[in-house]
Amino acid sequence: MGVLNVTSDSFSDGGRWLRTEAATAHGLELAAAGADIVDVGGESTRPGAHRVAPAEEQSRVLPVIRSLSEQGVAVSVDTMNASTARLSVEAGAIIVNDVSGALADPDMTSTMIALDVPLVVSHWRGHSDVMNSRATYDNVVSEVAHELEYRVAELIVRGVAPSKILVDPGLGFAKNSEHNWQVLGHLDRLVAFGLPVVVGASRKRFVGELVDELASMDARDFPSAVIAALAAQHGAWAVRVHDVALTKSALAVAEAWKRGAE
């Protein structure tokens, strides 16, 4: 899943793809490099980020989604807004990726039932302005698994088809670095749900701590690719990344290793 941020303030590449033409061209590059899905988002969810009005978010993402879809690219939309999800699917998106787990917008659940497309449900404890203060756990692995499982159950009870649900541990959302590594180290807890698991570690702060924090964001791509390969080995259905080509190479190594073991 290739990341396409159509934003002005994303932590890794804010502003680079804000124009529709530039964003579309980059989305095509991601697909050509091997992205099976291009994940288009118009609102940054980095710590401290300000919310974007749905109308502004839609003006950013809808032309890009429409253009990529018309050119045969499979697109997901990264949004917490039900209206954006609906319009994005109408424009050609085939998956809705909601980092709030359909909690931020009270209309998201009913919208997803009506749309009948897959929904990525992330572990979430609050918006960017408060999430760091909520990174408190007695046992992060058990609590993340329990809270995510409870959220999935709520959605199913309300009418979302289990076959349409994917789960994401929400790395970096109300989690410090040690929390992120512990969740990754026990990814099997989420895989055991029996639902597809999406892992998005690419270029996040805890990855940057492994390299020179003053280095460019590109320096985080190699450790991000290693995480992606390990996540795939441990059952992840998809990995959400910025550098698709590098990740594809890492995934090829993991797959070859798996074949060797078999």
The structure tokens 């085939």 sit at 94
Q: Which one from 66, 175, 220, 240 is the annotated catalytic residue?
A: 240
Among residues 204, 205, 248, 258, which one is catalytic? 204
Asked if 175 is an active-site residue, the reply is no
Q: Which three-class secondary structure state does DSSP give residue 97?
A: strand
DSSP letter for each residue of 98-161? ETTSS-SSTTHHHHHHHHT--EEEE---S-TTTGGGG---SSHHHHHHHHHHHHHHHHHHHT--
Cα 112 from Cα 96, distance rounded (Å): 8
The yes-or-no answer on residue 240 being catalytic is yes
CA distances from 78 to 3, 40, 87, 166 (A): 9, 6, 12, 14
| Angle, vertex CA 78, rays to CA 77 and CA 80, nearest 5 | 115
Catalytic residue IDs: 204, 240
